Structure 1
Amino acid sequence: MEAAIVILNYNGKEMLERFLPNVLNYSFFPVIIADNASSDDSVDFLKKSYPELRVLNIGQNLGYAGGYNKALDQLKGQFDYFILLNSDVEVSPNWDTILVDFLKQHPDTAAVQPKILSLQNEGYFDYAGACGGFLDSLGYPYCRGRILNTIEKDEGQYDQSIEVDWASGACLGVRAEFFEELGGFRAEFFAHMEEIDFCWRLRKRGRKLYCVPESKVFHLGGGTLSKANSYKTYLNFRNSILMLYLNLEMRGFREVFWKRLPLDMAAGMHLLLSQGPAHSKAVFNAYSDFFKMRRRMSKDSLLAPKLVKGCSDRSVLSIILTYYFQGKKKFSQLRSVK
């Protein structure tokens, strides 16, 4: 078979009960569940309610990165394309065939994402990927339809397919050979930012990434780890710095690091006031653990002297300064620095 939809599950019986019927109803390609050693009864639920579904046993909770690495390794050689789909996503007709057809028609494209809309906030883009992701010169991510915490209403303004810097892990269509070529995600990331790191490594090898809005899905968000959880804050900050260190030459990394440090420390103080000490502490713990982890992780074989130039004509030097000091909070308001 040419493609498979792989859903990673961890203690997600409630999500499976709610979303799996929709996915099965509107998907052309087979659905496979990869279970990250769930301790609830989600696997029993699958066996009883969907005995025809293939369920892969990961054996331990390896997070998003390690879980998908092990799952796709078990499927090696069986499919040409994979669609990695969060368990808390509702899909629409033809969503999967549109993504796979795009990959088939564009052999230099390694990965794609659909338009991702919010399931809770009807008519608005979703935080996790919106309509395609980008990076500023310091490695901060933003999206077409979402800049920092400002989320735009979908009015068809971003309905054209465009090349992007990164595609969202909430719904990621990827060519199997390229996933295998890179060894998948960095398992040490566990969760969060691993898809951005993966996409950056693809781009350094001349591969392209696209958002294809003709395909549309709706994301609940926080199905496994909510924004209120300080561990999520920790992972985002730690993995963001790790990503820069592992993909940049040392001179380029030092330049970015010393520019980012005061901004991240300011973010830590803001989190102290807005979300409490646990989130503020998470930022400082993220930096502390980065210094411990960097010594035992292998840098990418293709190092960049600085961040890869953005694909978009809306690339910016600093999305944070643009957002707070220039008041530009919509993707359409940005102007390229190239």
Structure 2
Amino acid sequence: MSTSPKVAVVILNWNGRYFLEKFLPSVYNSIYANITFVLGDNASTDDSVSFVKEYYPTIEVIENDKNYGFAEGYNQILKQVDADYYVLLNSDVEVTQNWIQPVIDLMETENYVAAQPKILAYHNKENFEHAGAAGGYLDCYGYPFCRGRMMQVCEKDQGQYDNPQEVFWASGAALFIKADAWKLAGGFDGDFFAHMEEIDLCWRLKRMGYRIGYCPDSVIYHVGGGTLNTSNPQKTYLNFRNNLLMLQKNLPFFRAVGVIFIRLWLDLLALIHFLVERKPKDAWAVSRAHQYFFLYFFRNARKRKKYKVPENKTGRYKKSIIWDFYVNKIQCFSDLPTNNFYSK
């Protein structure tokens, strides 16, 4: 009888006592034959570490010496975790009891190196959640979207995406990834700090020819914005900045030049929109993102890599999701023309 792959569920924490107390019981009661639980702590100043040590003594606690952010924080923690599969799980997630086995089975069967479960909103459990929904996609200008989530519009889950599917990126809210693939890709880009680091990682894996999947038979509920509120200008800064860094790293050179040129103008429109909406801090966040991009342009350019295999483009969208959403008024993923997606 074959042994189940060893799975390590790793929660990265920073001052998250409230979420750990609320959601750790569901995670701890997960059913899987070969599982370990790890709390990685980013130098919290609250009592979250002592809380876990007292009430969950079998959970391994690994403490970073400072707050490295989401991306580098996980890099530091996972160096010390031994498993066949890592599950990177946000602290603000409620899981269902048998949420692990279906994803592992799918990954083993389909040879996916990374995957995500169905992600529904914790505060509205009939709706998909913004950060991942039913699997991630990317349009021609680098804008991410999901099955079940177009821009800020999240669909109601009516079983319309209950088929397993190869996608372009899997959500960092509950990222299943083979440990070997994580190490081969070099983990997250620590310079991202937080936001879009999982899309960048998945893109690198796709460029290596690997496959990434979505498993509807596993369901979790995500609060979203638990660490950084969605209206926080710092989130605006990180999203705009990291998107440009990701495009520069992963697109072919001449394609990157054209796409980034267009994105800078689109970002300018976003900046003007923030000013009109009387959100000067968000407008300044976009400006800061551009300043960082140009200041560290050559450092980021050195991260560009070439791979000897054709890129797996499945999950890439050939058109602009911005145009489809605002001009063509398409707000449901299933209404997008299927011939505008790459199939391999």
Shorter-chain TM range is over 0.9
1:103 shift after superposition = 1.9
**Gaps spanning 5+ residues in structure 2: where?**
none
Q: Decide which of 266, 271, 274 is 2:269's aligned counterpart.
A: 266
User: In the alignment, residue 153 of structure 1 is paired with which amino acid?
Assistant: K
Q: Decide which of 9, 32, 42 is 2:13's aligned counterpart.
A: 9
Matched, 1:224 2:216: no
1:222 shift after superposition = 1.2
Q: In the TM superposition, what are the counterparts of 1:70-85 in structure 2 within 5 Å?
A: 70-75=76-81, 78-85=82-89
Cα distance in structure 2, aligned partners of 1:206 and 1:105: 17
Partner of 2:144: 141
Q: Is the 8 A contact 1:146 1:331 kept in 2?
A: yes
Matched, 1:334 2:336: yes
1:120 shift after superposition = 1.2
Partner of 1:184: 187
Q: Deviations over 1:128-173 (max 9, x none)?
A: 0100000011111010000001110000000001000101000000
% identical equivalent positions: 45
Q: Is the 8 A contact 1:90 1:219 kept in 2?
A: yes
Matched, 1:204 2:207: yes
1:122 shift after superposition = 2.6
Partner of 2:324: 322
Question: Could you state the TM-score of these two structures normalised by the residue count of structure 1?
Answer: 0.94
Partner of 1:244: 247
1:244 shift after superposition = 0.5
Q: In the TM superposition, what are the counterparts of 1:48-127 in structure 2 within 5 Å?
A: 48-75=54-81, 78-107=82-111, 109-127=112-130
Q: SS of the counterpart of 1:26? A: coil
Q: Is the 8 A contact 2:107 2:113 kept in 1?
A: yes
Cα distance in structure 1, aligned partners of 2:321 and 2:312: 15
Q: SS of the counterpart of 1:112? A: strand
User: In the alignment, residue 39 of structure 1 is paired with which amino acid?
Assistant: T
Cα distance in structure 1, aligned partners of 2:58 and 2:84: 22
Q: Is the 8 A contact 1:248 1:303 kept in 2?
A: no
Q: SS of the counterpart of 1:290? A: helix
Q: Is the 8 A contact 2:166 2:314 kept in 1?
A: no
User: In the alignment, residue 61 of structure 2 is paired with which amino acid?
Assistant: V
Q: Is the 8 A contact 2:26 2:97 kept in 1?
A: no
Matched, 1:33 2:39: yes
Q: Decide which of 119, 130, 133 is 2:133's aligned counterpart.
A: 130
Greater shift, 57-66 or 20-29, is seen at 20-29
Partner of 2:174: 171
Q: Deviations over 1:217-237 (max 9, x none)?
A: 000011111112110010000
User: In the alignment, residue 32 of structure 1 is paired with which amino acid?
Assistant: V
User: In the alignment, residue 331 of structure 1 is paired with which amino acid?
Assistant: F
Q: Is the 8 A contact 1:135 1:310 kept in 2?
A: no
1:272 shift after superposition = 2.7
Q: Is the 8 A contact 1:113 1:173 kept in 2?
A: yes
Q: Is the 8 A contact 2:113 2:177 kept in 1?
A: yes
Q: Is the 8 A contact 2:209 2:312 kept in 1?
A: no
Cα distance in structure 2, aligned partners of 1:261 and 1:173: 33
1:311 shift after superposition = 2.9
User: In the alignment, residue 90 of structure 2 is paired with which amino acid?
Assistant: N
Q: SS of the counterpart of 1:18? A: helix
Q: Deviations over 1:17-40 (max 9, x none)?
A: 000011111342221100011111
Cα distance in structure 1, aligned partners of 2:80 and 2:114: 20
Greater shift, 265-274 or 32-41, is seen at 265-274
